[in-house]
């Protein structure tokens, strides 16, 4: 009995040590949606620190400048105290190392995400075998949600306010009108 209590305490100590982990959540976030926010909230419960890393992604021709995406992510995530937001240009793995993070976090919405994410995780493991990729799924309300779909609907005058922080929704409308 005593043995099993000791075992339990040791297990808890080990578990808390294991979970003392910094995760990087990379993406384009053009703009940040409630799907991204949902994932960031879940991650903030699991990891000691979460860094949302916004890729410049010039080849994707983002609608918003990197600085604008950073601002929108910061205001959408300001209710989470163990989250910070950074921008990066270049190799993700370099930012992971610079931040001393151990985990790359990605979201999986549907099976269609899997192939690309699987390749990305394998490539990142080739580049640095110590860094692990972990996946979280969002609430079922957001499994269909993507920033590109939000932009598409908004560009046709559709109401996407339920998918974005109110300020981000305003900025999206302004950008599409301007
Ligand atoms: P990328 O341009 O690299 O695909 P995104 O900005 O679209 O990046 O998304 C960043 C990460 O967030 C990806 O792992 C993506 O799967 C995840 N993600 C995007 N939308 C959602 C959502 N609705 N629910 C959960 N994860 C999401």
- Buried-exposed string 50-87: b where 16+ CB fall within 10 A, e elsewhere: bbbbbbebeeeebbbebebbbbbbebbbeebeebebeb
Give the Cα separation of 106 and 93 in Å (integer). 14
Give the Cα separation of 9 and 21 in Å (integer). 20
Which residue out of 24, 26, 27 has the highest number of ligand 1 atoms within 8 Å of its CB and is therefore the one to mutate?
A: 27
pLDDT tens, residue by residue, 68-114: 999 999 999 999 999 999 999 999 999 999 999 999 999 999 888 99
Pair 117, 135: CB distance under 8 Å: yes
Confidence of residue 130 (pLDDT cuts 50, 70, 90): very high
Residue nearest to atom 1 of ligand 1 (CA): 27
pLDDT at 144 > cutoff 80: yes
Model-wide pTM > 0.85? yes
Residue nearest to atom 26 of ligand 1 (CA): 107
More confident residue, 80 or 12: 80
pLDDT of 1 = 47
Q: How far is CA 133 from CA 17, 59, 105, 125, in A?
A: 19, 24, 6, 8
pLDDT tens, residue by residue, 38-64: 999 999 999 999 999 999 999 999 999
Q: What angle do CA 133, 105, 75 make, to 5 degrees?
A: 165
pLDDT at 156 > cutoff 50: yes
- DSSP assignment of 44-86 equals HHHSSEEEEEEE--GGG--SS-HHHHHHHHHHHSTT-TTEEEE
- Domains contained in the chain, CATH given: 14-177 (3.40.50.620)
pLDDT of 20 = 85
């Amino acid at each position: 009995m005593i043995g099993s209590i000791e075992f339990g305490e040791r297990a808890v100590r080990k578990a808390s040590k294991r979970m003392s982990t910094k995760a990087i959540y990379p993406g384009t976030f053009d703009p940040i949606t409630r799907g991204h926010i949902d994932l960031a909230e879940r991650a903030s419960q699991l990891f000691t620190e979460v860094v949302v890393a916004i890729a410049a992604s010039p080849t994707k021709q983002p609608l918003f400048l990197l600085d604008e995406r950073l601002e929108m992510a910061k205001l959408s995530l300001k209710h989470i105290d163990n989250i910070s937001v950074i921008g990066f240009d270049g190799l993700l793995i370099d930012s992971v190392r610079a931040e001393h993070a151990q985990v790359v976090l990605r979201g999986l919405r549907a099976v269609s995400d899997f192939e690309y994410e699987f390749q990305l995780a394998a490539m990142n493991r080739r580049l640095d075998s110590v860094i692990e990729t972990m996946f979280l799924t969002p609430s079922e309300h957001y499994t269909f949600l993507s920033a590109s779909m939000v932009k598409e609907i908004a560009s046709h005058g559709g109401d996407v306010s339920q998918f974005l922080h109110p300020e981000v929704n305003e900025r999206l409308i302004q950008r599409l009108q301007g």
